[in-house]
Amino acid sequence: MKTLVLVTQKGGSGKSSLAASIAVAAEQAGERVFMLDLDRQGTLANWINRRTAETPG
**What pLDDT is attached to residue 29?**
92
The per-residue pLDDT for 20 is 87
pLDDT of residue 8: 83
Q: What is the pLDDT of residue 30?
A: 93
Global pTM reads 0.71
Supply the pLDDT for residue 31. Answer: 92
> How many CA atoms, within 13 angstroms, populate the side-chain half-sphere of residue 17?
4
Q: d(Cα 38, Cα 45) in Å, to the nearest integer?
A: 9
Cα separations (Å) of 55 from 11, 24, 28, 30? 26, 8, 9, 11
Can you tell me whether residue 26 is helix, strand or coil?
A: helix
Tens digit of each residue's pLDDT, the chain (57 residues)? 888 888 888 878 888 889 888 988 998 899 998 888 888 888 887 877 777 766 655
